[in-house]
Each structure stands twice: as structure tokens, then as C-alpha cells.
Amino acid sequence: MSESETQSFKKQQKRGLPAYMATFADLMSLLMCFFVLLLSFAEIDAIKYKMVVLSLEKAFGVQRDVVAEAIPKGTSIIAQEFSPGEPKPTPLNIVRQETTDETRDVLKVTMDAEAVAEAQAKQVAEEVEEFKQALESEIERGLIVVENQLNRIVIRIRERGSFPSGDATLNQDFVPILKKINEVLTQTDGLIAVAGHTDNIPISTSRYRSNWELSTSRATSVVHELLRYNTIPPERFVLEGYADTRPLAPNDSAENRATNRRVEIVVLKGSIDADFTQSIDDLIQQHDVIESEIQPVR
């Protein structure tokens, strides 16, 4: 080989890759193998992951509707959503902020309310029977009527024998009957609403300007007589006067008008958060609304 050819060959050798590239290529190959090895070990322990999730749920008040006991398939970090069939989210990916305790509490309160209402209705029915037995002779004579209206006990005093016509002064013959009624009321609890009622015949005298004053005065006379025995606290009484606005029968005959002239002693059982100056009909409507709201939560 001539000298010129040797120099040309050396120049061609100098134009090749640098010597360090061999070492760099080896290093990159080793690093690639190292990360592939790490990736092959990157596997999630589903059991431990589920335990961590359940622990966080209890800590933050999260409850599950359905607890998945099976290990989800495809735990690789590359394909966590993998499944052999149709792709579906695994239970571990869904953490809902829900609780069923609140619903159960409402259901429990509702059931308790129904049980209390049933027990109260049973107690009222038993007390009505006791009232009827204690006032049996007066009921047979047609002087009073004892009824059960929802959660109320109604003792209806008819005008016959109790008050003179157009007057609010109690007949002395009726005082012993009110004493027996007082003894019966002493044995029960609850507010006592005394309501006076008249017929639709207007009245205008020097003492009573209208049926409003007459009905209220008759109710007041009954309350005064019941308070005279000092066995019932005054705060239990509520005074009401309705004139001819709450008739039991149409005022189209003498018999019906006599039925409408009355004083009602209503024992209100249970806790009723309402204005007790409402009419009895309004209280009945209120009770129906409350009863319709007591329904089990579905």
C-alpha cells in the first residue's frame, strides 16, 4: 500500500463514530433492562388496597351499599380496568359518599311515631269507656253524651237541665253532675277545652248582646264550677265560644236547635303544638294531616 493510500485510509477511519459511543450504548441498554425489570415487578396487592380503602371509608364516614369480597381482575398498573368480558369499572375505583344509617333512623322514628299513635288511641278508647261507666246514669237520662274523637274525649253537656233558656246560670240540679264530671277529669291528663255553642236564633238582651256572649258565658260558668273543687289546675283549661258557627245538625227544627245548644268539655290527649283556640273541626283536620305524614320511608 502506498503512502498516499495509507493516509486516505486513516482519514476514513477518523470520520467514524466516537469511541465513547460503545460505552454509552451499553449503558442505555442496561438502563432499559433495569426499567423493564421494575415495570415487571409493578403489581398492586388488591387485598391490601381494599383494606386501605375500607379503613379510609370508616375514617371519613363512608359506607358501602354492597361490599365486594372478590379480588378484581387485572391489577396491573398498565391495565387496571381489564376484564375478560365487557369492560366495567372495578369496585375499587368507586367510593361513594353515601350512608344508609340516615334512612334507617328515619324509618325507626316513623315506626316509633306509629307505635305511639296506636298506644295513644288505645289509651283514649279505654278512658272513654271509663268515663261512660262513671257517668252511666247521666248518659241514660240524656243529659250528657261521651264520645271518642281521634285523640280527644268529648263530654257534651246538653242545654236541657243544665241552663235556663237564654241564660248562662247553671241550674242547681245540674251541679252534682258537674261534680261527677270533675272527678272523672281529675283521673286523666291533657288540656281541657270547654266550648260553648248556641243555635242560630239571635239573642239581644241587657246581659247578652249576641249568641257569642251567651256561648262564652255558658262555657265560663262550667269552668268556674269545675275550678271550685280545686282538684284540676287552672292552666289545664282552655275557654272557647262559637255561638252558632259549629252546629251539630241543621237549625231547621226545634229538636235540631236543641241539639246545637250545648257545652262541650274536650280532653285533648297527647302533645299538640297548635293554638288551642282553634275549633274542634280544625284540630281534626290537623290530626288528619299529621297522620298522613306518618308513612314508612320506602
104-293 adopts what CATH topology? 60s Ribosomal Protein L30; Chain: A; (3.30.1330)
Full-prediction pTM beyond 0.85? no
Question: Per-domain residue ranges for the chain?
Answer: 3-93, 104-293
- Give 28's pLDDT tier (boundaries 50, 70, 90): very high
C-alpha cell at 245: 258557627
Q: Residue 123's Cα: distance from chain center in Å?
A: 22
Max CA distance (Å), the chain: 161
Whether 227 shows a pLDDT value over 90: the answer reads yes
Per-residue pLDDT tens for 172-204?
A: 989 999 999 999 999 888 899 999 999 999 988
| 10 half-sphere exposure, CB direction, 13 A CA radius | 7
Residue 192 host element (H or E): strand 191-197
Region 266-275 average pLDDT: 64
Lowest mean pLDDT among 161-165, 219-223, 236-240: 161-165
pLDDT at 212: 94
* 166 vs 213: CA distance, rounded Å: 11
